[in-house]
Amino acid sequence: MAKARGPQVGEVAPDFELPSQGGETVRLSDFRGKQTVVLYFYPKDNTSGCTAEACSFRDSYEVFTEAGAQVIGVSSDSVESHDGFAQRYKLPFVLLADAGGEVRKAYDVPATFGILPGRVTYVIDREGVVRHVFSSQANIGKHVSGALEVVQSLATA
């Protein structure tokens, strides 16, 4: 049996449909032809590393939007948890509730030590093609800076 693997650079990102912190349904395909998407998977709301990562994306959000990108965070937390997390830290971007972990599985986001949900960032261009993948549980700042470099290069291409 072949091992599942997430989308690689140059491949089309799997479409999905999940509820946001406001309860709206968000589909990846809604952004096709309109915006680059920075899709980042993180372990859990209100934990130190995830809060630092979310606040880093928040602090760079204007630069992402000026370059034509939408930032979307995904974890297994509930819509209610995401809503509280977004309000507490004034997060201007969408957080999606992947309660059953189906999208995490479709993107083959690995677990750290086999238990902690992994931290992976994808940059998906306007055509839905993956242009960048960065996976690191610890190097949180690189998720934001690496994604920003790719988004800016796509904006000038």
Closest listed residue to residue 65, CA positions, set 92, 97, 27: 92
- Taking residue 137's Cβ as centre, other Cβ atoms within 10 Å add up to 17
The catalytically annotated residue of 18, 50, 130, 154 is: 50
C-alpha 62/C-alpha 75 separation (Å) is: 23
First to last CA, the chain: 40
Active-site residue flag, 55: no
Tokens of 95: 């957080």
Provide the annotated active-site residues.
50
